[in-house]
């Protein structure tokens, strides 16, 4: 008799159904696992054997064959241990033959029979729910699985004995409760930043419309400090976004204790990060920092120090909001709609724009042109706000703390985001949550320029040699500035401020 247990294989954040087939037959005493598994799957039989013995079940002296179907779908990871073990238990008669009908099963086993956490429980639960199945997963992942749906039945045992007792009715497992992670400790607040009013204004505009932003200024000006305070003014994730973000973090194995959080992700990879670390990939096609920052912020500090190919690989997700990773045997797509915040010094020494600075490389202009040329024009073109952050003066530092903190700014940002969501919903574009996400044709529908505004943008396009992309990015930025003010129409003043944030592309191309 062949026992069938349902489990999953991951392709990106999609959980594809996999059938674990177990057969115990007479013949040589072997335990074989077939079906295009990786090393972790091949090693699974040793864990299964020990876990069963530790739970008081010795394997029969027979031939045990496990097949993972479909055989042409690659299977990666350690989560096949539990479905294989439960399949063997049914085949041995240690569990009722219909016990696993209607369940998708995933989990890793320790040698003592304990069921240990695995990644990807949330997408597995969502897929199980879509197929009308329940889920059996490790106890620690239970709260994560419970987010998928209120209707699916979830069993989250600690070890093999608990699940056996559950099916024999001697110890019934209760359904886990979805958990939310609460923030611990005080968060950095905008109030800590003295002066730098224009940088704070740019940060507020970026937060309100989801725009990309680049701070350029000397060391110690407070660029990293400003960026670290962006999460405090961003609105929390909506329930739909929360689920999307958590699916990616679940596949990456980042959800500790099964607790999700409604805070927007803030990812700050070091500039030594490889291309695979930034955009995803590697042997297991894991999501990269850009995907982990989905619906949140990707902060690249010391931007020109990043490897140029890694930065250029970000151009695709910056435009399309997703990353396709291709492999010899498959292709998977991860969502990556992030807001890019970057910081850089004007040159290697960091002081190019300071009065009286003498640079070792000759003129400070040459030093900064060399440094800034590490960034490609098309990459810089995708950044809506370029801002020079001047060094902070001692007279600013001794000022009392600013009256306005993150709370007040966050309230204005939330209001501007509501206006945007309402507008795009009314136009029938439910998927557009903020101005930065609107396509060129959508943004044109929302902006009716008057004569003065039209003339300003025409003249400026010629003077700044704006690309078509640059032109639409200016329109989106102006829309956000108007939304922050609650203004229904985009006026000349809004366009003027938006254009003032676009100088650097021009200078970089002039220096090239
Ligand atoms: N505007 C400011 N208000 C208060 N402290 C500041 C300000 N700018 C810089 N600092 C101080 O200087 C330190 C360095 O700032 P940082 O953000 O790391 O500079 P940058 O990234 O521009 O090199 C901060 O930790 C903070 O103590
Ligand atoms: Mg810094």
219 CA from centroid of ligand 2 (Å): 6
Separation between Cα atoms, residue 359 and residue 35, nearest integer Å: 63
Ligand 2 centroid vs 99 CA: distance in angstroms?
A: 57
Q: What is the DSSP string of 309-335?
A: HHHHHTHHHHHHSEEEEE-SS-EEEEE
Is pLDDT at 225 greater than 60 in this prediction?
yes
pLDDT tens for residues 41-93? Answer: 889 999 999 999 999 998 889 999 999 999 888 898 899 999 999 999 999 99
220 touches ligand 1 (CB under 6 Å): yes
Question: Is residue 222 lining ligand 1, measured as CB closer than 6 Å?
Answer: yes
Question: What digits encode the pLDDT tens for the residues 454-479?
Answer: 888 888 888 888 888 888 999 999 99
Q: Is 221 in the pocket of ligand 1 (CB under 6 A)?
A: yes
342 lines ligand 1 (CB under 6 A): no
What is the overall mean pLDDT for the chain?
Answer: 89
Q: Please give the average per-residue pLDDT across 249-259, as a whole number.
A: 87
Pocket test for ligand 1, best of 222, 302, 392, 399 (most atoms within 8 A of CB): 222
295-319 pLDDT, tens digit each? 999 999 999 999 999 998 999 999 8
Domains in the chain, ordered, with CATH? Answer: 2-180 (3.30.230.10), 190-408 (3.40.50.300), 412-510 (1.10.8)
**256 three-class SS:** helix
Residue 432 confidence class, pLDDT cut points 50, 70, 90: very high
Alpha helix segments (H runs only) across 373-450: 377-381, 394-397, 406-426, 440-446
Buried b (16+ CB within 10 A) or exposed e, 33-65: bebbbeebbeebbebbbebbebbebebeebebb
CA of 476 relative to ligand 2 center, distance in Å: 28
What angle (nearest 5°) sits at the alpha carbon of residue 43, between those of residues 39 and 46? 180
- Note the pLDDT of residue 245: 93
For ligand 1, is residue 195 a contact (CB within 6 Å)? yes
β-bridge partners, 410: none
Residue nearest to atom 26 of ligand 1 (CA): 222
pLDDT of residue 441: 92
- Kindly give the distance from the C-alpha atom of residue 336 to the centroid of ligand 2, in angstroms, as a whole number: 25
Ligand 1, from 192, 197, 225: best to mutate by most atoms within 8 Å of Cβ? Answer: 225
**Is beta strand 259-260 parallel, antiparallel or unpaired with respect to 179-180?**
parallel
pTM greater than the 0.75 cutoff: yes
**Does the structure show a pLDDT above 70 at 429?**
yes
> Tens digits of per-residue pLDDT, 12-52?
889 999 999 999 999 899 999 999 888 888 899 999 999 99
Nearest CA to ligand 1 atom 13: 220
Separation of 10 CA from ligand 2 center, angstroms?
38
Q: How far is the CA of 174 from the centre of ligand 2 (A)?
A: 49
User: Which residue carries 């850089």 as its tokens?
Assistant: 344
Task: Write the DSSP string, 264-290.
Answer: PPEE---TT--HHHHHEETTTTEE-HH
Q: Does 358 score more than 70 pLDDT?
A: no
User: Quick one: pLDDT band at residue 357, thresholds 50, 70, 90?
Assistant: low
User: Using a 6 Å cutoff on CB, does residue 401 contact ligand 1?
Assistant: no
- pLDDT-above-70 percentage for the chain: 95
**Tell me, what's the pLDDT at 401?**
80
Can you point out the beta strands (E) in 357-509? Answer: 385-388
| Residue whose CA lies nearest to ligand 1 atom number 8 | 222
For residues 41 and 437, what is the distance between their CA atoms, to the nearest angstrom? 41
**C-beta 412 within 6 A of ligand 1:** no
């Amino acid at each position: 008799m062949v026992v069938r247990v349902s489990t999953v294989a991951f392709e990106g954040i999609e959980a594809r159904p996999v059938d674990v087939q177990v057969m115990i037959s007479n013949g040589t005493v072997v335990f074989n696992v077939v079906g295009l598994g990786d090393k972790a799957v091949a090693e699974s039989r040793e864990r299964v054997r020990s876990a069963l013995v530790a739970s008081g079940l010795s394997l029969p002296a027979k031939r045990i064959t496990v097949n993972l179907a479909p055989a042409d779908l690659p299977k990666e990871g350690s989560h096949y241990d539990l479905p294989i073990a439960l399949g063997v238990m049914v085949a041995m008669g240690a569990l009722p033959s219909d016990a696993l009908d209607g369940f998708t099963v995933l989990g890793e086993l320790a040698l003592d029979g304990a069921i240990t956490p695995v990644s990807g429980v949330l997408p597995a639960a969502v897929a199980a729910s879509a197929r009308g199945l329940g889920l059996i997963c490790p106890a620690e992942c239970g709260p994560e699985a419970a987010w998928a749906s209120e209707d699916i039945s979830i069993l989250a045992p600690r070890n093999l004995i608990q699940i056996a007792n559950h099916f024999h009715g001697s110890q019934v497992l209760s359904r886990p409760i979805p958990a939310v992670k609460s923030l611990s400790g005080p968060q950095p607040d905008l109030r800590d930043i003295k002066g730098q009013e224009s940088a704070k204004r740019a940060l507020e505009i970026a937060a309100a419309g989801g725009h990309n932003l680049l701070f350029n200024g000397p060391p110690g000006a407070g660029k990293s400090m400003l960026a670290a305070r962006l999460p405090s003014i961003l609105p929390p994730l909506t329930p739909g976004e929360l689920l999307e973000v958590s699916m990616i973090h679940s596949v990456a194995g980042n959800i500790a204790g099964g607790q999700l959080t409604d805070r927007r992700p803030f990812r700050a990879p070091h500039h030594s990060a490889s291309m695979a670390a930034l955009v995803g990939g590697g042997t297991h096609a894991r999501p990269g920092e850009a995907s982990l920052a989905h619906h949140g912020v990707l902060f690249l500090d010391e931007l020109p120090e990043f490897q140029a190919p890694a930065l250029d690989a970000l151009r695709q997700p910056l435009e399309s909001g997703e990353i396709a990773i291709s492999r010899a045997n498959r292709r998977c797509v991860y969502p990556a709609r992030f807001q890019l915040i970057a910081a850089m010094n004007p040159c290697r020494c960091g002081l190019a724009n300071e009065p009286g600075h003498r640079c070792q490389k000759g003129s400070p202009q040459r030093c900064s042109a060399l440094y800034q040329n590490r960034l490609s024009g098309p990459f810089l073109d995708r950044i809506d706000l370029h801002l020079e952050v001047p060094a902070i003066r001692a007279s600013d530092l001794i000022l009392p703390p600013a009256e306005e903190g993150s709370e007040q700014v966050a309230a204005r940002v939330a209001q501007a985001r509501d206006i945007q969501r309402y507008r795009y919903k009314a136009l029938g574009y439910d998927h557009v949550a903020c101005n930065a996400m609107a396509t060129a044709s959508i943004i044109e529908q929302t902006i009716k320029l008057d004569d003065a505004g039209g003339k300003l943008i025409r003249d400026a396009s010629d003077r700044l040699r704006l690309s078509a992309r640059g032109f639409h990015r200016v329109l989106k930025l102006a829309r956000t500035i108007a939304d922050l003010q609650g203004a229904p129409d985009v006026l000349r003043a809004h366009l003027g401020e938006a254009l003032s944030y676009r100088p650097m592309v021009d200078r970089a191309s002039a220096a090239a």
